[in-house]
Chain A
């Protein structure tokens, strides 16, 4: 983190290492974050977008993996629209694989950076009440956070319409709320999720404005939470859909910019750990 705040943000920790980012889904934030993290550690970073790669020519994920593997990278960072894609890749290559989000499964580094943000702002990462709100069903961020924050001994609440809750989610040791204010009552952390338009199939919500009315976070609804509760969002935000624009920009409550900053640090740490013994 300190390195990231200096004017010369460069170390040689990963000097000579090769990092390849393969993103089968568009991403600005995560891809940039991984790229910066690698570069600041001195690694050679290459980005492969889905449009420029031979995936567009019908190559399968496994063949892409084997091809890249033959180029002997040290770290592969993958984002893919299918759940389990990172597992599949990890099976076939010899280097470290970092899951930068696979389908509706997991997004582990996001959960780690969220945890770091919470720890910095709340001074602890245990015994907190944390509400994760919105489109849980399609959210890999939610799944990773439920696992991580739960494991650290926090009480995790999920808030959202029933149509956006995955089945049997209560078996993961979380509390379920369908009313936003009820769900926010007394919480330390409010984590908003993006409404994933691109994953919406069928009639999951009637309209965006109805969603904003019932599940959009604004200053008024936030009053149910603790006075010093922080507001988080993994981005990209839909202002005026799941979160009020002014609230998102209020640095007293919103830690969204911290999340982005800490994201780079978290990913640097993950990559350092993975390269330690190689």
Chain B
């Protein structure tokens, strides 16, 4: 047995922080108590030194370069970055090369994952073959092989009939469909959000309405089919409005957002800094404030890093030619803590969106500080200040927009199934 003593326990489920102790046995939480837990001879006591102990982060939408782009990220490096960032579970994207669209590839993927990292991997598979939006994948077989969700990632399924069929079939199989709601025509060719900044910089912009249109299409089909649907990122007020309406009607709908959209805005691109080029593009400050409100109201429920490693070469280009995406496993926690330090979010809510909600949505036994839950924790100091040097990131790719910025908060220990996979000292 292990005993985590003297911890400020962040319980997102009950929405509170209290000083207490947690006992772990065989990888599961066996007791959570405000009082001292009696230790037996063979139990190990881990003194948390009055630091915060929260459920390990369940990061949705992590892109691992395997198979196909191992030069950008491997399971080993992603796992290392996750451990250092307090991420204990990664829900991975299937937009690999080749994409994960059949059980055999998924099995290979899972096998590689287990041999290379101790961080838990929950893979998603594609909704259609090769993400072409034409032929549905073998949903049931993929579920058997361990897929936790189905998504074509940033490739929007244009054919509404195909999407409707996918949703119907997934609904029957109780499989969750994840959409990337962007009208593909309106957003085509854009590298920024339309507005004064994009106009001044001569960048092709896309209106936030493209997000609403994509969402409206998908949510209409959800209404038609009754499927479970999660929008990977809702980043604008326009999108938030239709999402809220659909939730209000009682549909099985949820949405997430990347920490980048919560903490940065379109002006941060500055002089064409390509590390700030992400999908969808960074939004206006007004939209950023709206989505934070949406998070507080519980309309947006999941915050993720949308970890997207890109090699140096693909970012060393003019802005419109450069690849999109940012790494985030290691910066997710300190980045969202900006909203804690600014007084906008409290710690239980932060871990509700980072751990509890994604675990619930994807049916994982994680994200809780209660008996029977997997003992996945992050022990952290939210106040520790540092200046991020991207060279120090464990990811193979170093494309972070937070390079050179002051962040606050660092992970002291990361625990997966009762095993310490990272320790600061």
Report which A residues bind B (CB closer than 8 A).
60-62, 80, 82-85, 87-88, 102-106, 140, 143, 166-169, 171-172, 201
B320 touches A168 (CB 8 A): no
- Known: A104-B202, A143-B199, A172-B200; 20 extra A-B contacts, CB below 8 A, are A60-B316, A62-B316, A82-B321, A83-B201, A83-B202, A83-B318, A84-B272, A84-B318, A84-B319, A88-B317, A103-B320, A104-B203, A104-B204, A105-B202, A105-B203, A143-B200, A166-B198, A167-B207, A172-B196, A172-B199
Q: List 9 tightest A-B contacts by C-beta distance, closest first.
A: A105-B202, A84-B272, A82-B318, A83-B202, A104-B202, A166-B199, A167-B194, A168-B196, A171-B196
* Interfacial chain A residues near B199, Cβ < 8 Å: 143, 166-169, 172
The residue in chain B whose Cβ has the minimal distance to the Cβ of A140 is B202
The residue in chain A whose Cβ has the minimal distance to the Cβ of B314 is A60
* Interfacial chain A residues near B198, Cβ < 8 Å: 166-167
The reply to whether the CB of B286 lies closer than 8 angstroms to some CB of chain A is no
Alpha-carbon separation in the docked complex, A172 to B202 (Å): 13
B272 touches A88 (CB 8 A): yes
Report the minimal beta-carbon distance from A110 to chain B, rounded to whole angstroms.
14
B194 touches A168 (CB 8 A): yes
The reply to whether the CB of B144 lies closer than 8 angstroms to some CB of chain A is no
In residues 10-29 of chain B, which contact A (Cβ within 8 Å)?
none
* Interfacial chain A residues near B272, Cβ < 8 Å: 83-84, 87-88
* Interfacial chain B residues near A62, Cβ < 8 Å: 316-317
Secondary structure class of chain A's binding surface, majority of residues:
mixed
A168 touches B195 (CB 8 A): yes
* Interfacial chain B residues near A171, Cβ < 8 Å: 196
Alpha-carbon separation in the docked complex, A168 to B266 (Å): 14
Report the minimal beta-carbon distance from B211 to chain A, rounded to whole angstroms.
15
Alpha-carbon separation in the docked complex, A172 to B199 (Å): 10
The residue in chain B whose Cβ has the minimal distance to the Cβ of A106 is B202
Report which B residues bind A (CB closer than 8 A).
189, 194-196, 198-205, 207, 271-272, 313, 316-321
Give 5 A-B contacts (CB < 8 Å), ordered by A residue: A82-B320, A84-B318, A105-B202, A140-B202, A168-B194
Report the minimal beta-carbon distance from A135 to chain B, rounded to whole angstroms.
13
Report the minimal beta-carbon distance from B174 to chain A, rounded to whole angstroms.
41
Alpha-carbon separation in the docked complex, A172 to B189 (Å): 24
> Counting chain B CB atoms within 10 Å of each CB, which of A62, A84, A143, A166 scores highest?
A84
Report the minimal beta-carbon distance from B197 to chain A, rounded to whole angstroms.
8
Q: Known: A83-B320, A143-B202. Contact between A60 and B313, CB under 8 A?
A: yes
Alpha-carbon separation in the docked complex, A88 to B322 (Å): 12
Report the minimal beta-carbon distance from A78 to chain B, rounded to whole angstroms.
11
A83 touches B195 (CB 8 A): no
Alpha-carbon separation in the docked complex, A242 to B107 (Å): 61
* Interfacial chain B residues near A105, Cβ < 8 Å: 201-203
Partner of B317, one of A61, A106, A140: A61
* Interfacial chain A residues near B195, Cβ < 8 Å: 167-168
* Interfacial chain A residues near B271, Cβ < 8 Å: 84, 87
A61 touches B318 (CB 8 A): yes
* Interfacial chain A residues near B207, Cβ < 8 Å: 167
The residue in chain B whose Cβ has the minimal distance to the Cβ of A147 is B200
Partner of B205, one of A84, A87, A167: A167
A83 touches B196 (CB 8 A): no
* Interfacial chain B residues near A85, Cβ < 8 Å: 318
Report the minimal beta-carbon distance from B188 to chain A, rounded to whole angstroms.
8
* Interfacial chain B residues near A82, Cβ < 8 Å: 317-321
Alpha-carbon separation in the docked complex, A103 to B191 (Å): 13
B318 touches A80 (CB 8 A): yes
The residue in chain B whose Cβ has the minimal distance to the Cβ of A171 is B196
Report the minimal beta-carbon distance from A139 to chain B, rounded to whole angstroms.
9
* Interfacial chain A residues near B194, Cβ < 8 Å: 166-168
Alpha-carbon separation in the docked complex, A136 to B46 (Å): 65
> Counting chain A CB atoms within 10 Å of each CB, which of B189, B272, B313, B321 scores highest?
B272
Partner of B189, one of A80, A166, A201: A201
Alpha-carbon separation in the docked complex, A82 to B318 (Å): 6
A60 touches B317 (CB 8 A): yes
* Interfacial chain B residues near A143, Cβ < 8 Å: 199-200, 202
Report the minimal beta-carbon distance from A156 to chain B, rounded to whole angstroms.
14
* Interfacial chain A residues near B317, Cβ < 8 Å: 60-62, 82, 88
* Interfacial chain A residues near B203, Cβ < 8 Å: 83-84, 104-105
Alpha-carbon separation in the docked complex, A85 to B196 (Å): 20
Alpha-carbon separation in the docked complex, A168 to B208 (Å): 13
Alpha-carbon separation in the docked complex, A60 to B313 (Å): 8
The residue in chain A whose Cβ has the minimal distance to the Cβ of B203 is A83
Alpha-carbon separation in the docked complex, A172 to B200 (Å): 9
